[in-house]
Amino acid sequence: MSDLEVRKLPFNFDGVEFDWHPGNQPFGMMMNAVTFQVIGFEHYMCKAMRDAEKFITNPAILAEARAFNAQEMVHSQAHKKHIKALLTRYPGLQEVLDGSVARYDELYKNEDLHFHLAYAANIEATFTPLFGTIIEHREALFGGGDPRITALMLWHFCEEIEHRSSAITVYNHVVGSRFYRMKQLGKVLRHIKSDVEAIHAGFAKHVPGAPTCGTKGAFARIPAWPTFRMIAGIIGSQMPWHNPERGHVPAYYKAWRSRYEGGADMTSEHLLAHNPVPA
């Protein structure tokens, strides 16, 4: 059972800028796309987990699936708050959200439960290498950006690392075939890619003057070796024998957790270091 905790943080995004990180726009836009994508994606996974419950015969795994869902639903609520703040100035962004949710609903209708659980297990497995690297380079990536969005993302990424084994545990119990999961990867990535591209196209359509960088260059400030390690970790996460529990957990996670447990305000994270964009 994951050592996970459902934390409802009192985020307030009133007046937040769409371009909340002008010093690192590619990364800022990537994080905006995360906000819009996680609503449909996390609902999709939660539906799959709920539908999987009747096939779970182990009480500890059932508890894991339910705890996972509880944590993911709180993530969605916080990102919805972020979107709500953006909608006050850019109401057309509702179409971007609706489009992404519809693509996930469509996928849920068109594929079976085994596919949905493979989708969740595959993508969740990438999060420890992906978000772990982002966390370890947080000063370079988030430094100088709006501290509220920084806090939102770091909270979410820490909790993704916290429940890193949940989706794969449920998949292994209900589906079992480790090779089936790997075989679905192409379809999973195509779906994610088309959703991300549609979200960025929606930003360009509905936000006048929005940076048009998409995700290109989002990781430009991560040096070559950690970037290589992150990519190797993401590829390794798709192997049939992969066990996310053994993934590297950044020291920041523990520090973040102790700050939370000590009653600190976790809704605003000031990372002031700011590395200039490499020439």
Interface residue list for Fe ion (CB under 5 A): 72, 75, 160
Q: How far is the CB of 91 from Fe ion (least distance, A)?
A: 26
Whole-angstrom distance, CA of residue 279 vs CA of residue 275:
11
Q: Are 28 and 203 in contact (CB under 8 A)?
A: no
Residue 34 CB coordination number (10 Å): 19
Q: Give the C-alpha distances (Å, rounded to integers) separating 45 from 116, 131, 170, 236, 271.
A: 7, 19, 11, 22, 32
Question: Is the CB of 93 or the CB of 153 nearer to Fe ion?
Answer: 153
Question: Is the CB of 173 or the CB of 206 nearer to Fe ion?
Answer: 173
Question: Is the CB of 24 or the CB of 37 nearer to Fe ion?
Answer: 37
Question: Is the CB of 64 or the CB of 160 nearer to Fe ion?
Answer: 160
Q: Are 79 and 38 in contact (CB under 8 A)?
A: yes
Q: How far is the CB of 191 from Fe ion (least distance, A)?
A: 17
The separation between the first and the last C-alpha atoms of the chain, rounded to the nearest angstrom, is 46
Question: Is the CB of 64 or the CB of 72 nearer to Fe ion?
Answer: 72
Please name which of 33, 195, 182 lies closest in space to residue 119, comparing C-alpha atoms. Answer: 182
Q: How far is the CB of 208 from Fe ion (least distance, A)?
A: 30
Q: How far is the CB of 274 from Fe ion (least distance, A)?
A: 27
Question: Is the CB of 211 or the CB of 233 nearer to Fe ion?
Answer: 233
Question: Per-residue b/e over 120-147, b at no fewer than 16 CB within 10 Å?
Answer: bbbbbbbbbbbbbbbbbbbebbbbbbbb
Q: How far is the CB of 42 from Fe ion (least distance, A)?
A: 5
Q: How far is the CB of 123 from Fe ion (least distance, A)?
A: 8
Question: Is the CB of 75 or the CB of 242 nearer to Fe ion?
Answer: 75
Q: How far is the CB of 255 from Fe ion (least distance, A)?
A: 20
